[in-house]
Amino acid sequence: MIGIIDYGLGNIKAISNIYDKLKIKNMIIRSKEDFEKISSMILPGVGSFDSAINLLIKSKYLELNKINFHEKKKNILGICVGMQIFSRKSSEGSLSGLNWFDANVKKINLQNNSEKMRLPHMGWNSIKFLKNDHLLRDIKDGEHFYFCHSYYFSCNNKKDIISETKFSQKFPSIIKKDNIYGIQFHPEKSHDNGVKILENFSKL
């Protein structure tokens, strides 16, 4: 059973609809008891870093992170800002992240680009595989996904990076550490490739 965490951010219904069409059991997590019913979970996200952390605090899900995400070894997938809050901190805000990765979130640097790019990085872009992973099963290197962000996940440990993308600069587009995955793009907006990512996650 896939659980989609409802803490006030993200395209929760769109992700649930994809799993429904795939006939994969899923539920929206709205209480502490719901965590006991699922084997893997998704932390969606749109908006700012501090907003996401504040909403996690208010929903009391932050208190559950050690028990449910680490000790019980349930797989978790963070999407967009849902991934970024796995870091130590962000230059976008002042609050601390979950500190699951040795990483910080930084603003995309446009100073050295020659194509007059503007933020946010919005639209379709390709991912380049740096290593193989079951999350990428049946997806070709160089496939395109839908992005919408101005900040990127800066990993200090390069072995945590599964794929990278370039927009003015290179940045991680998929990360992994133990049972924790993060993706910078929005699979729910990425058509067939995004559906395949969500399907693969359900089979980990």
Percent of the chain clearing pLDDT 90 (strictly above): 76
Domain ranges of the chain: 2-202
Give 136's Cβ-side CA count (13 Å radius). Answer: 23
Distance CA 44, CA 200 (A): 17
Confidence of residue 33 (pLDDT cuts 50, 70, 90): confident
Read off the pLDDT of each residue in 171-184 and give the average, rounded to a whole number: 96
Percent of the chain with pLDDT strictly greater than 70: 94
Tell me whether strands 128-129 and 161-167 are parallel, antiparallel or unpaired: antiparallel
Residue 85 CA to its chain's centroid (Å): 9
pLDDT score of 113 more than 90 = no
Q: What is the pLDDT of residue 158?
A: 96
Active site residue 186: yes
Task: Note the Cα 165 to chain centre separation in Å.
Answer: 14
* Spatial CA neighbour of 180 closest among 55, 53, 79, 107: 79
Output the pLDDT for position 114: 63
Residue tagged active-site, from 143, 155, 164, 186: 186
pLDDT at site 176: 97
pLDDT at position 47 over 90? no
Q: Which of 148, 155, 188, 199 is catalytic?
A: 188
Query: Does residue 71 carry a catalytic annotation?
Result: no
Tell me the pTM.
Answer: 0.94
- pLDDT interval class at 157 (50, 70, 90): very high
Confidence grade of residue 3 (pLDDT, cut at 50, 70, 90): very high
Mean pLDDT calculated for residue range 135-145: 98
Edge-to-edge strands, sheet with 89-90 = 89-90, 103-107, 151-155
Question: 2-202, what's its fold?
Answer: Rossmann fold (3.40.50)
Q: Which listed residue (63, 80, 92, 143) is catalytic?
A: 80
Cβ burial, residue 34 (10 Å; 0-12/13-18/19+): middle
Is 148 in the active site? no
